[in-house]
Structure 1
Amino acid sequence: MTRHVSNASSPWLDWHGLGGWNIYFLAKFALLWAGYLNFHPLINLVFAAFLIFPLPRAGLRRIRHWLALPVGVGIFYHDTWLPGMESIRAQGAQVFSFTLDYWLELLGRFINWEMVGAGFVMLTLYLFIAQWLRFTPWILLALLWLWLSPLVGDPFASQATRVASTDKGSELAAEPEDKQVSMAEQLDQSAPPTNQNLNAYLDSFYAQERDRVVHFPQQLPADAAPFDVLIINICSLAWSDVTASDLMAHPIGRHLDLMFKHFNSATSYSGPSSIRLLRASCGQTSHQGLYTTAPSQCLLFENLAQLGFEKQVAMDHSGAFGNYLKDLQQYASLDVPLMSKEGMPHDLASFDGEPIYRDDALFARWLSERQKSKAERNVTFFNLIALHDGNRYAATRKIAPYKARLQTLLDQLDQFLTSLEQSGRKVAVILVPEHGAAIAGDKMQMAGLRDIPSPSITQVPVGVALIGAKGGHGATKAIDTPSSFLAISELISRLVGGNTFGSATIDWDGLLKGLPETPAVSENQGSVVLEYQGKYHIKLGEGDWVPYPL
């Protein structure tokens, strides 16, 4: 019900309150306070003004009411962290291939019953208090404050920034001239995180990345022991997922010689992540830059093929969904036929109903074929999707819990690495997840949603095992610097340029010192997340940067 504010003779002065729309704005304020909205104050203020602007005829007010319903829904959607229209258009065709039971599962996740209960309590309180208190003026004042307060800003911010910048400048001036400066330090983060400064930082990051390239040796050392490079690209596995599944202590760790602790996958989708991995010999490009022809020097498999490595590709799926395999062939030059999966068993079916073949069978077939091959050196790209959201048990069509699938995959990887060790082969195994599964979700995205490349999704565990190397391995060595795909390419370049597998000892200092660092910048189509001054910030579309609500 709308309450009159004035009984003036002029119809243009016959004001009405927001009425039921007060509930709409109160709900937004509550969600904003809890950190669940990317609120746009000016748009909401204009909408509120549209709702209360005096109209001389009741018929016009009724038309406004009906027009306001879809507009209000659209603004509410715009204020959420849900995927934008650009992302929906890009992913829309794939969404329709989901099975009905997966759709029902996603719907169940989307409904937050605690929020539904809180909303009912708010509605009851509003209806009760509205008998004595007029809400419209307070709603308008709150919208005005939300709009104006960022424009006023902190009057002490400029002085504080100047002091901080001066102090940092003094510290840098006192450093020795020969100190090695990391990539993260080369990009200036001394300015306050304003919209302009964050845009400039992002531009500077991509400008520096354009000049970075890993140079592989022209030829292999004459006395180098032959070995294989096996890259296992795992879908849906981030540090946050391992922690949530309580599998941090899985015994697979005993095989790993190296572990990247702060590795950024730079995206939260499979295709872009795998393209970045296969183009790892050049610096990080923007999301748009992935879908252009890459120089041959950027192509990791091409770098190795020129040194005599036989190329091979194996997947536990067809690669058809989302044109995954087609995109790798077109934008990463992965021009190798898939290893046959004929006769392999499968226990899982994917979210679109496609069979997912058992990874232990895939590993066993690769090892069997490799033992028979006459090629001295081999580089193989594995892509595994057993952990992808929405996978079902093939026999029952029941949901396959993530933890159970992760346990199985880690067990199979553990068994495979053990088999490699027992086979006597020399293999550099590199485990590189594409992105996380987002099994816990956060304030921006419900569990399983990966439209925004949040740090909990893009920070992935990357491990390296040098199977068959003569030198003693010892405890797993942690790489704590911010890293991404360029570091993998550099590490492989150092392995093929030396004789790690034939030497009596492993020169860990030569392998690891000065590996390329890459600051945390992640991008999907329509969203960018970066780390600046120790905090994460997000930009959606052409909007402004805002702090990421952790």
Structure 2
Amino acid sequence: MNDDASNDAPDIRYRFSLGWWNFYFLTKLLLVWRGMIGLHPWVNLAFILMLAVPLPSRAPRILRLTVAIPLGIVLLYYDSWLPPLKRVLAQASSLSQFTFSYLIELTERLVHPEFVVMLVVIWILYTLVSRFLKLGVILTVSLFALAVLNKFDRGETSTTPSNMAQRASQNPDHSALSDLNYLVNSFFSTESTRQVSFDAAEATPKPFDIVLIHICSLSWSDLKVTGLENHPLWQTLDVLYTNFNSASSYSVPAAIRLLRAPCGQLPHAGLYNPSTDQCYLMESLKQAGFTPNLLLNHDGHFDNFLKTIENQKLGIEPIKPDGLRPYELAFDDSPIYDDKEVLDHWVQTRNTNPSKQVALYYNTISLHDGNRLVGPDNSLSSMKTYGIRLRRLLDDLNQFVVSLQNSGRNTVVVIIPEHGAAIRGDKYQISGLREIPTPNITLIPVGIKIIGPKTSRSDAQRIVSTPTSYLGLSQVIANIIKTSPFESPVFRADDLVRDMPLTKFVAQNADVTVVRNNGQYYLRQDSEAEWIPYEGEDK
């Protein structure tokens, strides 16, 4: 008897008949097998129970179908790696600002050709097999087995924090998932006690400026995808970090973290609470004798970015890049200006500024997802122009360094991205999506360049490969202020990074947390969810 058959009168023989819903659950199981979605077995079993209960007449079955279709869509979304619905709803106002062309581009990324082909193959498989097998029974038993095995695995690996060290020493490659909650809580507890202090700069005949270049959407993974990890800019830097964790995957939290760099890493929720003056980077630099400057190559209105950074004890208006023509249009159609032109404009402004020492915070969104070039290439998608825009940005920064060298002004340049662009997608999220702060997104290239006409580096470029973050960068800036590299003809890059604190890998975006433990990354979708191994990082 065909499993898909149905009659108006209830029949015990069709108690577990799912009809064409078999295709829905078969697709889900194959997507789980391919690692393209997750699965909540017990919730899906409850849905099967609702679908399979026999109803006495046609009208209730139509009503059930009317309810089941939207419920099935929501359940598929719930099983996917897409952001939680509450997160999407919270971002609704921001999403409404996206241009229509950008929304189309995002849709094209989501509906991948591989997925469409898979659906066709599954449908052909379903139509052939459903004639001979009770697919409803087989799929229900499979889901029940997954649910039981999942529960068994959780019970087998559960433990308490007290025996964590003992088991880790017995088997360092195995970490009980329940230990990770303890590790994360301990991490933030320890971070809350860490701080770097900036000494007031002594009067010196050789003052210098500090330039912080904060780049939206650039990670080591993005550099590898575009083949620009060996761009000349990286070779000219005195210190280069290869294992620096931005800890955030979006601009606003990343900017807050940098502008609070002197204190240990905060949980995501704590970023929006006020802190002590000692934790604000620009306030600390101001107390050390530097005059804060603020510069953007965009209007800063999206997601209240400008207001947010001004609240980080910056309190100054950005320098306006007057008279410049847009180089790009952002995902909300706002203008973006050429980095070299904006920075050159600042250099001219700086030359008329009587301040002896300036600390500039410059933010650029030239690489942001959804940007379109102004000119003949404006029809290309942002993913197709990312490599073009990245090379242009790196060339501009290289020329900016040369301009500073030619100016004769002593300057410390810090190049630090906010987060990556997620050019390389994975099974957890499509290309360009950054809801999960994976290592491909948060491991960023950070570099420091000492520029002065009467000083030069005496040793090799210092590569910092140990895990570090903003606190380590603050220590380097504090070292430079305390012992200026401009006071002697030569300096050592090794001296710049002395006493630099390390920071374990913990990255967050809203409720999502990624942590590294014993060489393995783990992902938790929210504070109540289970930890799962994350295996999408670059090898």
Cα pair 1:313 1:380 within 8 Å, conserved = yes
C-alpha distance in 1 between matches for 2:254 and 2:155: 43
Cα pair 1:312 1:338 within 8 Å, conserved = yes
Equivalent residue for 2:506? Answer: 521
Instruction: Give the alignment partner of residue 546 of structure 1, picking from 528, 532, 535.
Output: 532
Equivalent residue for 1:447? Answer: 431
Cα pair 2:194 2:263 within 8 Å, conserved = yes
1:497 aligns with 2:477: no
Equivalent residue for 2:195? Answer: 213
Cα pair 2:419 2:441 within 8 Å, conserved = yes
Amino acid corresponding to residue 423 of structure 1 in structure 2: S
TM-score, length basis structure 2 = 0.92
Q: Alpha-carbon deviation of 1:533?
A: 1.9
Instruction: Give the alignment partner of residue 265 of structure 1, picking from 228, 240, 246.
Output: 246
Residue 382 of structure 1: SS of its match in structure 2?
A: strand
Show structure 1 runs of 5+ residues with no match: 172-188
Identity %: 36
Q: Alpha-carbon deviation of 1:87?
A: 1.7
1:357 aligns with 2:343: no
Equivalent residue for 2:235? Answer: 254
Instruction: Give the alignment partner of residue 343 of structure 1, picking from 323, 330, 355.
Output: 323
After alignment, is 466-475 or 521-530 more displaced? Answer: 466-475
1:299 aligns with 2:283: no
Cα pair 1:2 1:19 within 8 Å, conserved = no
After alignment, is 429-438 or 161-170 more displaced? Answer: 161-170
Equivalent residue for 2:348? Answer: 368
Cα pair 1:347 1:394 within 8 Å, conserved = yes
Amino acid corresponding to residue 544 of structure 1 in structure 2: E
Q: Deviations over 1:259-297 (max 9, x none)?
A: 111011111100110111001011111111111112111
C-alpha distance in 2 between matches for 1:369 and 1:473: 32
1:322 aligns with 2:308: no
Q: What is the aligned length?
A: 528
Q: Alpha-carbon deviation of 1:93?
A: 0.7
Amino acid corresponding to residue 212 of structure 1 in structure 2: R
1:192 aligns with 2:175: yes
After alignment, is 150-159 or 53-62 more displaced? Answer: 150-159
Residue 379 of structure 1: SS of its match in structure 2?
A: strand
C-alpha distance in 2 between matches for 1:32 and 1:398: 36
Equivalent residue for 1:73? Answer: 73
Q: Deviations over 1:296-318 (max 9, x none)?
A: 11001101101220110110001
Q: Alpha-carbon deviation of 1:372?
A: 2.3
Q: Alpha-carbon deviation of 1:349?
A: 0.9
C-alpha distance in 1 between matches for 2:309 and 2:359: 16
Q: Alpha-carbon deviation of 1:385?
A: 0.6
Equivalent residue for 1:477? Answer: 462
Structure-2 change in CA distance of 1:258 and 1:451 (3 Å): same
Q: Deviations over 1:42-85 (max 9, x none)?
A: 11111112211233444333322221111111110000111112
Amino acid corresponding to residue 514 of structure 2 in structure 1: V
- Equivalent residues in 2 for 1:34-433, closer than 5 Å: 34-153=34-153, 166=166, 192-194=175-177, 196-217=178-199, 219-223=200-204, 225-330=206-311, 332-396=312-376, 397-399=378-380, 401-433=385-417
TM-score, length basis structure 1 = 0.90
Residue 501 of structure 1: SS of its match in structure 2?
A: helix
Structure-2 change in CA distance of 1:365 and 1:163 (3 Å): closer
Q: Alpha-carbon deviation of 1:155?
A: 9.7
C-alpha distance in 2 between matches for 1:2 and 1:308: 82
After alignment, is 392-401 or 139-148 more displaced? Answer: 392-401
Cα pair 2:2 2:130 within 8 Å, conserved = no
Q: Alpha-carbon deviation of 1:30?
A: 0.9
Structure-2 change in CA distance of 1:432 and 1:33 (3 Å): same
Structure-2 change in CA distance of 1:60 and 1:347 (3 Å): same
After alignment, is 122-131 or 231-240 more displaced? Answer: 122-131
Amino acid corresponding to residue 391 of structure 1 in structure 2: N
Amino acid corresponding to residue 438 of structure 1 in structure 2: A
Residue 443 of structure 1: SS of its match in structure 2?
A: coil
Amino acid corresponding to residue 370 of structure 1 in structure 2: R
Q: Alpha-carbon deviation of 1:157?
A: 6.5
Q: Alpha-carbon deviation of 1:320?
A: 0.7
Q: Deviations over 1:146-196 (max 9, x none)?
A: 11112223998799x99995586599xxxxxxxxxxxxxxxxx897232x3
C-alpha distance in 2 between matches for 1:300 and 1:135: 61
Show structure 2 runs of 5+ residues with no match: none
Cα pair 2:286 2:292 within 8 Å, conserved = yes
Structure-2 change in CA distance of 1:167 and 1:210 (3 Å): closer
Equivalent residue for 1:185? Answer: none
C-alpha distance in 2 between matches for 1:96 and 1:533: 41
Residue 315 of structure 2: SS of its match in structure 1?
A: coil
Structure-2 change in CA distance of 1:294 and 1:164 (3 Å): closer
Q: Alpha-carbon deviation of 1:451?
A: 1.5
C-alpha distance in 1 between matches for 2:162 and 2:511: 34
C-alpha distance in 1 between matches for 2:266 and 2:233: 32
Cα pair 1:280 1:489 within 8 Å, conserved = yes
Q: Deviations over 1:194-217 (max 9, x none)?
A: 2x3211111111111111111111
Residue 91 of structure 2: SS of its match in structure 1?
A: helix
